[in-house]
Amino acid sequence: MLNTMRMGEWFQITVPLEWNGQTIADIFRHVWESPKKLTHSFRMENKVLVNGDPANWNMPLIKGSKIQIKLFEDENIEIFPNFIDIDILYEDEHVLVINKPPFMNTHPNDLKADQNTLVNAAQFYLQAKGENRNIRQIHRLDRDTSGAILLAKHALAGAILDNMLLKRNIKRTYIALVHGVLKQRTGTINAPIGRDRHHATKRRVSPSGQAATTHFTVLKVDKGKQQTYVKCWLDTGRTHQIRVHLSHLGHPLVGDTLYGGNSIVKRQALHAAKLEFIHPFTQEKIVCRAPFIDLPVIFKDIDIYSL
């Protein structure tokens, strides 16, 4: 874990042993893999200091030196802030993890017309705390899917986390309730997913689709109701991936009428129960678990803390 602290608009990192001899340019390019345009703005606007002085980006760093980065400036707000009560699972100066309720879109499709989304709520929360910066979503959940979702509080955190997601370094674990009893206790579904030509929003397994991999483990079987509670985690993040893959196996999600499920509950029975990642600035392992929030209860007698 790195030694860090916030100082107003600046964020300070004490150079660890593993950075000794590297340059500021190396840290941005190789450690954080920051986009060139964003890195250029930090460099040209003198937003990086070493021991209080403007950084020489090509000078080798010395263990124990202090790097200061201007991360917490006010921004022109692009997202309309809207008060909606949200459940915060984790927060620091860089990231926010929220337990998204069902029946809420993750982000607005139209910035003016759609203002009741999780991103609008998070934007209000941020500004109410005096943090006048645009919130940045890192991934999304379907409107009717609940659970842990990750957002970034500033541009550099957003860029690093976007890249971590692309490299599959952010692990998301889901709980699904499906129809039927799975034959396998554990397994992997490798099946490409593409658009359904006959339905605007539907996806399907298709040889011409994008590669998609879902791993699963059976948690519990309700033989009386002929239903199975399944833990899933993904190597990819295709639209409706878990819903499509489990339906393809012949076990659609309970409540998921789009993919063959029965409307026993009011939504598809899918919950993002656990989110894990290595913090981009402190190197701390962050593990967030999202409690179930449905009433009546959908996921009965499932302990998210045992996942």
**Per-position pLDDT tens, the chain of length 307:** 999 999 999 999 999 999 999 999 999 999 999 999 999 999 999 999 999 999 999 999 999 999 999 999 999 999 999 999 999 999 999 999 999 999 999 999 887 778 999 999 999 999 999 999 999 999 999 999 999 999 999 999 999 999 999 999 999 999 999 999 999 999 999 999 999 988 889 999 999 999 999 999 999 999 999 999 999 999 988 999 999 999 999 999 999 999 999 999 999 999 999 999 999 999 999 999 999 999 899 999 999 999 9
Phi, psi of 62 (to 5 degrees): -115, 135
Query: Quick one: DSSP state of residue 53?
Result: E
**Listed residue (219, 205, 186, 89) closest to 147, CA to CA:** 89
* Bridging pattern class, strands 4-7 and 53-54: unpaired
Euclidean distance between CA atoms 279 and 277, whole angstroms: 6
Q: Which fold has domain 4-70?
A: 3.10.290
- Distance from C-alpha of 127 to C-alpha of 130, rounded to nearest angstrom: 5
How far from chain centre, in Å, is Cα 187?
24
* Topology of the domain comprising 172-271: Pseudouridine synthase (3.30.2350)
pTM equals 0.94
**The predicted structure's pLDDT at residue 113:** 79
Query: Which tokens in the block code for residue 214?
Result: 């879902």
Give the whole-angstrom CA distance, residue 272 versus residue 171. Answer: 11
142 is catalytic: yes
Catalytic pick among 114, 142, 162, 294: 142
Greatest Cα pair distance, the chain, in angstroms, is 69
- pLDDT at position 277: 97
Give the residue range(s) of CATH 3.30.2350.10 domains in the chain.
172-271
Nearest-10 crossing angle of helices 155-166, 36-44: 160
Which pLDDT score, from 0 to 100, does residue 110 have?
A: 81
d(CA 231, CA 302): 10
Alpha helices in the chain (DSSP H): 24-26, 36-44, 118-128, 155-166, 241-248
- Span(s) in the chain for CATH 3.10.290.10: 4-70
**Which amino acid is residue 45, in one-letter code?**
E
Q: For residues 197 and 209, is the Cβ–Cβ distance under 8 A? A: no
